[in-house]
Chains A and B, each alone.
Chain A
Amino acid sequence: MPVVNINDVLLWIDLAERLVQLGVRSWAVIRAAMEDAGVDEATIQAMRPKWIALRDDVRRAAGLDPTG
């Protein structure tokens, strides 16, 4: 079954822990740092091929040209 990409989650946790070790203890600050570090952009980019693959399979299952 499809799963949440646990590696991404672990990456986020690792980043948060490193920031805490550096003395940044506010979650709001950590979150802002994660956003500024481009986590959102990387997530959006990573999701695009997944959406395309899902769309292609649903199109095939609907009897349409998968890549149309």
Chain B
Amino acid sequence: MRRQTRWTLVFCAVFLFAYCAKPRHTAVVTDVALYEVLNDLHGVEQMALCGQQSCAGSPVVEFLPGWTLAKSQAFNTKLLPAIDGGMGFNDLLETWTPGTPIPAGLPPIITSLADSLTAVTQDFPDGTTKTAMLGYIGKAQSLILTALSIVLAMGGA
């Protein structure tokens, strides 16, 4: 399936459920879409380092000239809070009983995700790869706004 078609499908689902579904169901759809976009963001960065989606066991070749191992490590250090936030979001959904108030842990997770994504591209060189990354970050931030709308709709902090 082409990437654009996949994203069209994901975002149609997000917006459909955001406007029609129960808050927890919206959150579940957001969880899936957020994983996809963060996984793609990480994959694009790894492609810049070694030409593969994951550089585990692969030699570093600086596929994108100037994108060194040190820069890659710094990037992923900044990305890690977003991934931890996404995992925390998934864990929180497991314990959130449908129909009950929104868990108190959601607002700080949303803040952590947003802060991490703001920091993540600061050192990345301008070019096609950075443009692609900014696209993913834009999508991720849209998803975060969806999660935030759940908080606001339920009267959370």
Q: Which residues of A contact B (CB under 8 A)?
A: 1-4, 6, 9, 27-28, 31, 35, 40, 43-45, 47-48, 50-52, 54-55, 57-64
- A3 near B1: Cβ-Cβ < 8 Å: yes
Main secondary structure of the interface of A (DSSP, over half): helix
Residues in A whose Cβ lies below 8 Å from that of B49: 61
Interface size class of B (residues with CB under 8 A): 35 or more
The smallest C-beta distance from A26 to any residue of chain B, in angstroms, reads 11
A50 and B39 alpha carbons, distance in the complex (Å): 9
- B42 near A43: Cβ-Cβ < 8 Å: no
A8 and B5 alpha carbons, distance in the complex (Å): 16
- B98 near A35: Cβ-Cβ < 8 Å: yes
The smallest C-beta distance from A43 to any residue of chain B, in angstroms, reads 5
- A61 near B36: Cβ-Cβ < 8 Å: no
- B22 near A54: Cβ-Cβ < 8 Å: no
Knowing A9-B9, A61-B55, A62-B76, the reply to whether A1 touches B40 (Cβ < 8 A) is yes
The smallest C-beta distance from A21 to any residue of chain B, in angstroms, reads 22
- A4 near B36: Cβ-Cβ < 8 Å: yes
Knowing A40-B28, A58-B42, the reply to whether A51 touches B53 (Cβ < 8 A) is no
Q: Which of the listed residues A3, A9, A58 has the most CB atoms from chain B within 10 Å of its own CB?
A: A58
**Complex A-B: 6 CB contacts under 8 Å:** A1-B3, A3-B6, A9-B9, A44-B93, A54-B38, A63-B76
- A47 near B36: Cβ-Cβ < 8 Å: no
New contact pairs (12) apart from A27-B20, A35-B21, A63-B76, CB-CB < 8 Å = A31-B20, A31-B21, A31-B25, A43-B32, A44-B93, A52-B87, A55-B83, A55-B87, A61-B42, A61-B54, A61-B73, A64-B77
The smallest C-beta distance from B17 to any residue of chain A, in angstroms, reads 8
The interface bits of chain B over 57-91 (1 if a CB of A lies within 8 angstroms of the residue's CB, else 0) are 00000000000000011011101100110110011
- A58 near B53: Cβ-Cβ < 8 Å: no
Residues in B whose Cβ lies below 8 Å from that of A57: 42, 54, 56
- B73 near A63: Cβ-Cβ < 8 Å: yes
Knowing A40-B28, A60-B56, the reply to whether A47 touches B42 (Cβ < 8 A) is no
